[in-house]
Structure 1
Amino acid sequence: MDECARVLELLGMLLYVGAWLCVLGATVSPRWLSMSTSLLPVESYELGLWETCVVQDTGGMECRAYDSMLGLSPDLKLGRVLTCASLAVGALGFLVAIPGVSLVNGCEEDGAKRTLGTTGGLLGMLSGVLCLIPVSYVAHVAVVRFFDDTLPDVVPRWEFGDALFCGWAGGFLLAVAGLLLVLASRSAGREPPPVAGPQRRYQVMNTVLARAEYV
């Protein structure tokens, strides 16, 4: 494997770990959406996939988990399912990609290493897409509800929380990390054409002269 492929491979693996941790942080964070009201300026509300929280102006926070999953809105249900699937696929892709790394000696065959690296990269790209879908959908629903003209202006609206931006970053970086692993595996599979040395050229010349003498 050439140096360019090694750099892409190592960069992809490091980016893979960081992006997966971002997705994990976004999944467990209660700050997908936030809301503050003018009636209670000392309190704000945070909404996540697993719980809702009331944040005091003094820094205190009180959270309460949802009583039932079936009673959740469709965007939160989709967020739970796809973010958990993203984490599972991402972890599987990372475990598959580890034996395909050139620095790991567990698998000696180059063809098997390229296959494992490519498979791990594709799973990483899939994991990123699975994370971007629920994050974008929750953001879309929040925008639609925020600009809903049927609601009075005095009604508080949900706005983007920090977890949405963390989820966008994690999903995008997971897709980039998977692409880097695929490119590294494809680059490793390309072997330069053999260069004819002096001995090879001497054998070719002898073959040509022998054919000429036979004719």
Structure 2
Amino acid sequence: MDPGLGTLELLGVFFSLVACLCSLVTLMIPQWLTLSTELLPTESFQLGLWEACVVQDLGMTECLPYNTLLGLPSDIRLARILMCTAVATGLIGLLFAIPGINLVNSCRRTESFKAKRTLKMLGGIFSIVAGVLGLVPVSYVAHLTVLRFFDESVPSVVPRWEFGDALFLGWTAGFLHLVAGFLLVTSCLFMQDETCSLHQSIALYRAQMTRPERSPRGRTEYV
């Protein structure tokens, strides 16, 4: 097996694992949006998908989960659905990709290379889908935040929400999912070419082994 192909597989699985962890952290932490006011300089507010928090300068944090689902803003509800779907899709893609890499001792026969290639291809496709699903809610919330921040109808003295750490972490997770999917799909294409070459080599070897040879006795008859 080509060492470069194994490197692509390992990088794809590694980036997919890191992306799943980043997506899960993005889903859980409450730092999607942050707000600080001049009236209360010792406190800042954080808004997440599941709870809102008040952070004090002394290090104390008090969080309150949302009590209602229907009363939430539409962007929060949409982000919940898409982020949960992105995390689930990324985990499924990772479960598909791990048995498909060459280091895993499964489907080692030549006839089973197609199964490993299919698993790895599915892992790459699921990873790409997870990246898109993760980038959409993060970018949508960021877009609405920018529009509200520069809204001229709101007085300048009114505090505005700003980007939180979860948005940047979500962008990182989506990008890593896309990179992981691209690496896994690319390794599948190289694996397909290598498998075709392997089948041709085996067929040529079998043809050489089955080629009839003249026995020495048959040769001496013509002398």
Give the structure-2-normalised TM-score.
0.86
**Where does 1:172-191 land on structure 2 (aligned, <5 Å)?**
172-191=175-194
In the alignment, which residue of structure 2 is the partner of 1:17? 17
- Aligned twin of 1:87: 87
Deviation by residue 1:136-188 (Cα, 9 ceiling, x = unmatched): 00000000000000000010000000000000000110111011011111111
Report matched runs for 1:45-194 at 5 Å: 45-108=45-108, 109-191=112-194, 192=197
* Superposed counterparts of 1:194-209, under 5 Å: none
CA positional deviation for 1:98: 1.5
Partner of 1:3: 3
| 1:175-205 Cα distance to aligned partner (Å, 9 max, x none) | 11011011111111103475x99x97xx9xx
Distance in 1 between residues matched to 2:172 and 2:82, nearest whole Å: 16
Match of 1:206 in 2: none
Aligned partner letter, 1:68 = T
| CA deviation map 1:3-61 (0-9, x unaligned) | 11110000110111111101111110100000000000000000000000000011110
Query: How many residue pairs get matched?
Result: 200
AA aligned to 1:10 is L
Structure 2: distance between partners of 1:155 and 1:48: 21
| Offset of residue 80 of structure 1 | 0.2
In structure 2, the partner of 1:28 is 28
Identity %: 52
Q: Where in structure 2 are there 5+ consecutive unaligned residues?
A: 212-223
TM-score by length of 1: 0.89
| C-alpha displacement of 1:106 | 2.3
Letter in 1 for 2:142: A
